Each structure stands twice: as structure tokens, then as C-alpha cells.
Amino acid sequence: MSVLTIETAPIEGQKPGTSGLRKKTREFMGRHYLENFVAAIFAATGGLAGKTLVLGGDGRYFNDRAAQVILRMAAAEGARRVIVGQGAILSTPAASNLIRQRRTDGGIILSASHNPGGPDADFGVKFNTPNGGPAPEEVTNRIHAETLRLSSYRILEAQDVDLSRPGISRLGGMEVEVVDPVADYRALMERLFDFPAIAAMIARGFRLRFDAMHAVTGPYARAILEGALGAPEGSVVNATPLPDFGGGHPDPNPVWARPLVDLVMGPDAPDFAAASDGDGDRNMILGRGLYVTPSDSLAVLAANARLAPGYAGGLKGVARSMPTSAAVDRVAAALGIPCHETPTGWKFFGNLLDAGLATICGEESFGTGSDHVREKDGLWAVLMWLNILAARGEGVAAVMAGHWRRFGRNYYARHDYEALDPARAGAMMAALRDRLPQLAGGEAAGRRIEAADEFAYTDPVDGARSEGQGIRIRLEGGGRIVLRLSGTGTEGATLRVYLEQAEARPDRLDLDPAAVLAPLAAAAEALAGIRAHTGRAAPDVTT
């Protein structure tokens, strides 16, 4: 085996977003593309000599080949060991757990999360730091800087490593440890939740359905829900991870998981249903005849966390991304704990969790998690819900109704306009930004605008400042409109419009969310001129 030094040159566009670098699969498969970005990660984090990394991904197309390339590059750079999930598979929360449990120097996760997979779809690479969380902006900025000055990379000339079964082998001077991707994660869940109580509820006839969407959580859900908890075989569907996710879109929302929504709204609905995404960090929660918004789910988990053994001592605080509804804010106020508002991106929760300022965090984009790892965790949220249902002896609908009676309800929706022309989308946001000082005191949706600004965040732990994190418009009577351009797409720009209406009156807690929010949607169009700027008369996806 010999180490090759390959001459290369910077490749335009390798700037990581909120969750690493996401591009079309064929772009990652292009000459030097993957290698350049991985070499930039190594250089930006101080090199690999003597270090240990975790490596794995969601099994999408090119996952297996990318893993072999990264192993050979790590060996060439003098890494001591790389811990790899069997078959190069690891869910994102399981990878975070391994980084933390084994105290490694970080990890590389191969995933484009909820984006489609396949040769003509999407691929992604992100670096997680030794705390198990996504690299903060300071690190991703260094990675990007390295991509702009790269002139060569090193790679070991060697055959593929056998990743098909657990064990330790050598690649040059580096150890490659292949591990069961599920075992450590399952053990962690058993420590956090009351498995006997959940199993007893299932044994009494409680019916559940979990849709793994042919993505990475299939093996995890089978091992835990059907294996450890005794749910009947077949409770977990679409459980085999496939390179193209079975031709589907592994995004657990009412649009892409429509069959699951139809099931819970039908005559043979299970008591509980859930879905997870490509890499296992997102979740959708449903009950019989009921869809639970991610914002409501976060609030319910925070309000009931003490029912789970791992959280019996209470919460140190909660945190939510700015676009997420304020439902959890009222829970925090009632519990007498802090509630932190951060920009979108799980990496912003990392400092809060590490500093002991928050225990449970969540985003409206179907992500919830806690301080057990430094990523959002779809299956964790499912198990927390099951623990709550078992402890309370109630169904999902009863839990939600009781929650709204106690805390009030935040009607909420997100409208996504996808694959927009970046210049036109940017011009729309710039025009709205310029008008912000004049908006306050005006009207929208027939109501006075109380405030209009662009969200900026100062990290309470390290003082880092993040500007330009989304435009907020607050209306009298508890209404809010948020607009931001997302950084998780791989084609064009994605505009996300968030609509929220708080309601505390007892006779208005069971209204049609679409009807409640329609005036806010019209106001967003009028304020931003979405159709005039983008040519789009309606969103591509509404959740």
C-alpha cells in the first residue's frame, strides 16, 4: 500500500450550509469533488494524525463508495482509527451517540437528510465535532476557506475494506472498526425510557405503525419497536434502507408520507403512527384522526418529559428555532424554566446543551431531540411519545386536547416555494428587508403590525453573532409571519413562509388550521409580493 498525492484545484460552491454540504449526487461523484471537500474538512480541523473518527451514512446512492474513499483518505492522513457502521450505515443520532460514547475526535456523516436519493438526486457530507453535534459556523467557515485554497489531497492506494460484518481490520497503519449500527443506540434508548411500561401498553392491544420510508431508521425501529417492545411484526413498514429510498421522498411530513396520514384518518386507524426521514433525525407524529404539528409535539414533550425515567429530574431549559411556534414558550413559562430562541440549524443548540442551559430542543422542520445526543433524533421523539402515552393512559387526541386547554393553541403552517431562481428570491427578500422600518404601525390581514425585524442571534455561551436569520412580522392578537431562504436544498433557492396564530379562548381551540391561517397567508403575499417576484401563485409544499 502506498500513499498517493493527487494534484487538484479548488471547486466552486463547496460552502457548507446549516447541515454540511449538499449537492446533486453526480456532482459529488465528479472528479475530485468528494475528495476535495473531505480534504478540506481534515485540514480545517487540524489534520487527522493520531485521531479517531466515526463514519457512516443513511445508505443512499453513493454512500458505500464515498465511505471507502474517506477511509483511504483518513488512512493516508495518519488517523489512528475510524469507527464505521456496518455496511457504512449509521443514523445521524446514532453517529452522534457513538462520537460521544467513544469520545472520538468527531465524525463524518454521509447524508442529505430528508432529500431524495439516487444517481440523479441528492447527496451530502457533514462533519460533526467531538461533542457529537454539527460543526458550528466558525468550523464550517474554516472548511469553506480550505476548499478555496486546496491544491492537493492524499489517499491510500488500497482495496476496499470489508464493511459487511462487525470486527477490526487494518488499512495501512489505521484501524477500521466496524460496529453494529443499532446496538449502542438501542442501549441508550433503554436507559432513557420506560421500556416495560411501553411494552405492557402494546401487549394490551395498543396498535402502532412506523413508516421508515425505506431509509436508515428501518433497522433501528425493527430492533426497538418490534424487538425490544414487542410490537407485532409488520408494525414497522418500508423498513429496508434502499439507495433511492424506494423511489420516494424520505421527508416525514403530510405530503411525502401521505399513505400514513390516510391510514390514521381512515376507519382502521392505529392508536399511534409516526415516520422518520432519510438519516433518522426527523419525525412526524400522528394519532387516530390527528396530525400533530412539530411545534405542538415539541411543546407536549417538554410538558410531559418528567414521565420518562431519563428526564424524571426535570428540564434545565428548552430551546426552539426562531421559525418554530411559541407553543413551547408557554410550557417553559409554566414550568419556570428558560426558553431559548435560536436561528434555524441544530448546530445552534449545541452550546446550550453543552452548557446545561437546555435539555430538550426542537425545530418546526420535524426535528426534536434532547441532551442525550447533539443531533435531533426521530426515533427518540417516537419513544418519548410512547412513554408519555403509556404513563398517562391516554390517546394522542386526548393528550393534545388537554395540552391546548392548559396552555392554549398555536395554529401553525409552513409554506415552501422550492427551486426558485436565487436572484429573484434574493431580490424579494431584499425589498422586504428595506421596508421593515416602515412596516411597524401599518396593517396586514386587517390587523396592526406590532413589530417587523430581521432576526439576529447572539450565542449566550460564546458570544458568537449570527445575522440575517429570517424576517419576522408580528401582528396584534398573537399573529406572526416569518420569511426566510433555506440553505438545505440542492437546486435553486427555497423560500419558507411560516404562519402562526396563538389562541387561548376555550371555544376556539378546535378550528380548521387552514381557515385560521388563511388571512396570514394572504398578508404574507401582500407584504412580500411573492408571486410578483417569483412567479409562483402557490407553495409547492404546505406542512
Domains in the chain: boundaries? 2-181, 185-407, 409-542
Give the pLDDT confidence of 316-359 residue by residue, as tens digits. Answer: 999 999 999 999 999 999 999 999 999 998 889 999 999 999 99
Q: In this model, does residue 246 exceed pLDDT 80?
A: yes
Architecture of domain 185-407: 3-Layer(aba) Sandwich (3.40)
The rounded distance, in Å, linking the Cα atoms of 499 and 519 is 10
Section 291-311 average pLDDT: 97
Section 490-496 average pLDDT: 83
Report the candidate in 175, 60, 80 with the shortest Cα–Cα distance to residue 125: 60
Q: Give the pLDDT band (50/70/90) at residue 244.
A: very high
pLDDT of residue 488: 58
Please give the CATH number for the structural domain made up of 2-181.
Answer: 3.40.120.10
Section 518-540 average pLDDT: 93
pLDDT of residue 487: 62
Q: Give the pLDDT band (50/70/90) at residue 178.
A: very high
Q: In this model, does residue 489 exceed pLDDT 60?
A: no
Q: Does 2-181 match 409-542 in CATH topology?
A: no
Q: In this model, does residue 144 exceed pLDDT 90?
A: yes
Catalytic (active site) residue 113: yes
Section 254-269 average pLDDT: 95
Q: In this model, does residue 231 exceed pLDDT 80?
A: yes
pLDDT of residue 17: 82
The rounded distance, in Å, linking the Cα atoms of 538 and 296 is 25
- Which residue out of 91, 113, 321, 365 is catalytically annotated? 113
pLDDT of residue 495: 95
Q: In this model, does residue 504 exceed pLDDT 80?
A: yes
Give the pLDDT confidence of 362-411 residue by residue, as tens digits. Answer: 999 999 999 999 999 999 999 999 999 999 999 999 999 999 999 999 99
Q: In this model, does residue 65 exceed pLDDT 80?
A: yes
Say yes or no: domain 409-542 is CATH 3.40.50.1000: no
pLDDT of residue 32: 97
| Cβ proximity of 299 and 403 under 8 Å | yes
Q: Give the pLDDT band (50/70/90) at residue 444.
A: confident
Section 417-425 average pLDDT: 93
Quote the percentage of the chain above a pLDDT of 70.
99
Contact partners, residue 59, CB within 8 Å, separation at least 6: 87, 88, 89, 215, 216, 241, 242, 243
Contact partners, residue 508, CB within 8 Å, separation at least 6: none
pLDDT of residue 478: 92
Q: In this model, does residue 490 exceed pLDDT 70?
A: no
Place of cell 393534545: 400
Residue 521: which H helix or E strand, with range?
A: helix 513-528
CA angle 346, 349, 353 (to 5 degrees): 135
Summary mean pLDDT of the chain: 95
The rounded distance, in Å, linking the Cα atoms of 371 and 387 is 17
pLDDT of residue 1: 79
